[in-house]
Structure formats: C-alpha cells, structure tokens
Structure 1
Amino acid sequence: MILDCVLSGIFNFLVAALNIEGDKIALHYGSEEMLAPQDRDQ
C-alpha cells in the first residue's frame, strides 16, 4: 500500500512536469508563429 502511494505520487509528479514542459513548448512555438508574419511584413 505504501509503495502504491509512492508510485502514484511519482507518476503524478512526472505528469505535472510533462504538462508544464508541454505548455512552455506550446507557448514558445505559439509566440514564434505569431511573430513570423510580422517579421515577413518588415
């Protein structure tokens, strides 16, 4: 039972970390896509 709690805690931590990294990547590429047309116009 204790092992299950530890494993679920580690799993939840990894999922949260992946979600945060995913958001950072999405924001990074999203901002690049938004800036690209402006750079082309200039």
Structure 2
Amino acid sequence: MEKTYCHSGEKDPEAVCLTVRGYRIKLSPEQMKLISAVRK
C-alpha cells in the first residue's frame, strides 16, 4: 500500500490519498489517526 499526498488544490491540504490496489482513497487526518491506531 503506497501513500501519496493529494496536491490537487483540495480544501484539506492534510488529506492523504492511499492507493490500494489501484483505488485511490482520500483520507482525512482523523481517518489517518484511526488507521494508524488500528495497525498497531
């Protein structure tokens, strides 16, 4: 799973796009925190 940061002039500059098997998923910082908490 690769992490790419979205630079498309979005409202949320902190948003991260995760590329999962070719699907791009936009995550907010809160969602990133949840995911990192789940992975530990």
Judge same fold: TM > 0.5, yes or no. Answer: no
Larger strand percent: 2
Larger helix percent: 1
Tell me which of the two structures has the higher relative contact order, counting C-alpha pairs closer than 8 angstroms and 6 or more residues apart. 2
What TM-score do the two structures reach when normalised by structure 1?
0.33
What TM-score do the two structures reach when normalised by structure 2?
0.34
